[in-house]
Amino acid sequence: MWPARDYTRLTLESKEALEYSIFSIKEPERLVLDLETSELSPALAELAAKVAAEDPYVQGLRVARNRPGVVRLVLDLKAEVKPVIFALPPIADYGHRLVLDLHPLVPFDPLLALIKETEMRPRPK
């Protein structure tokens, strides 16, 4: 997991292409990613520990076998997000990758952030 101000990225790597489904749940905000795999790998099991406290979008993450052949990731969110998910084929030392980007509903505007920052600074007398 890589948190950033603009978005948080979660990348899963596998020997085989991952089939998946994704949906969101409200109150509280959660994003659910079901992976069609029979393997709950150590890397998946340890994923919850990779959530940083300062992540702007993800509060926590849970991973468990949902039913035979399906591993479920539940991302507890700090706010509603716009998920973007895509697969990448193997290249060099990397296997199949499934990438999930969590974007804010209102994109980060660096110019607006700079204006707000300068407005908060004390003015010289």
In this predicted structure, the answer to whether residue 12 has a pLDDT above a threshold of 90 is: yes
For residue range 29-86, list pLDDT tens digits in order: 999 999 998 777 888 888 889 999 999 999 999 999 999 999 999 999 999 999 999 9
Cα distance between residue 70 and residue 68, in whole Å: 6
For residue range 27-45, list pLDDT tens digits in order: 999 999 999 987 778 888 8
